[in-house]
Amino acid sequence: MKVLIVDDEEMIRAVLKEYIEFEGGEAEEAQDGMEAVKKCRENNYDVILMDVMMPRLDGFSAVKEIRKFSETPVIMLSARGEEYDKLFGFEIGSDDYVTKPFSPKEVMARIHAVMKRSGTEKKPRDVYEFEGLKIDIVGRNVSVNGERVELTPKEYELLFYFVENEGVALTRERLLNQVWGYDFYGDDRTVDTHIKMLRGNLKEYRKFIVTLRGLGYKFET
């Protein structure tokens, strides 16, 4: 989370910065609209907190300028009594507003809301872990006791399918359909061969792939 705080009052900037950094975010400051625009050209912020009344270049004009090259969400900080649609909406391109005096908590809530809306919040990656067997599907990594294991494409696909269906009894037919594809018309013993290779690569965790005699296989820990 990287936030640009634009306000000419140092006190306000300091307080907001404090809160953002307390939550593990990163905050930079700008004293006026001019500086804000410049900083936006050089950095990618997740959110901009923009005061309206400022010397040199006011908040509205700054947002207008920033909108020429960036879609970064903006939350306006303003005195009470400003017109609603000037603060929030289409006219200038800001995403939310807070009226002064505001509580930092309120501002933080707005930041999270805006970031959630614009999809900036990072989602943690799914990594499965079964004892010493780590499986990162998105990154296509498999490691056994911290050591990276290289698998062939079919082995990856097979393992991923097993993991996503932990504890489910899978027939060879189903595996062929799901992992190989509906258009595969080969021998179902092909599965066995790949199971063998996969087990070999999983070392001591070969035990997770259980044979169900007369049926197929199952991934179970």
Partner DNA sequence: AATATTTTTCCGAATTTTGAACAAACGTTT
Partner DNA sequence: AAACGTTTGTTCAAAATTCGGAAAAATATT
Give the binding site for DNA (CB under 7 A). Answer: 150, 152-155, 172, 180, 184-187, 189-190, 192-197, 199, 211-216
Is 168 near its own copies (CB under 8 A)?
Answer: yes
Residues 201/151, Cβ–Cβ less than 8 Å: yes
Task: Decide whether 2 or 100 has the Cβ nearer to its own copies.
Answer: 2
For residue 24, the partner it binds in its own copies, DNA, none, with Cβ less than 5 to 8 A by kind, is none
Q: Using the rule CB under 8 A, is 181 a contact of its own copies?
A: no
Min dist CB 130 to its own copies, Å, is 16
- 101 counts as binding its own copies under rule CB under 8 A: no
When the beta carbons of 85 and 103 are compared against its own copies, the nearer one is 85
183 binds, among DNA, its own copies, none (CB under 5 to 8 A by kind): none
**Binding to its own copies by residue 90, rule CB under 8 A?**
yes
Single out the residue of 80, 75, 45 nearest to residue 63, CA to CA.
Answer: 75
Residue type, 131: E
Q: Is 137 in the site for its own copies (CB under 8 A)?
A: yes
Would you count residue 169 as binding its own copies (CB under 8 A)?
A: yes
CB distance 127 to 135 below 8 Å: yes
CA dihedral 131, 137, 138, 144 (to 10 degrees): 40
Burial of 84 (0-12, 13-18, 19+ CB in 10 A): exposed
CB of 147 to DNA, least distance (A): 17
- Is residue 88 within 8 A of residue 127, CB to CB? The reply is no
Query: φ, ψ for residue 197 (rounded to 5)?
Result: -60, -45
Q: Does residue 51 belong to the site contacting its own copies (CB under 8 A)?
A: no
Quick check: 126 binds its own copies (CB under 8 A)?
yes
Structure tokens at 183: 């258009």
Cα atoms found within 13 Å of the Cα of residue 106, Cβ hemisphere only: 11
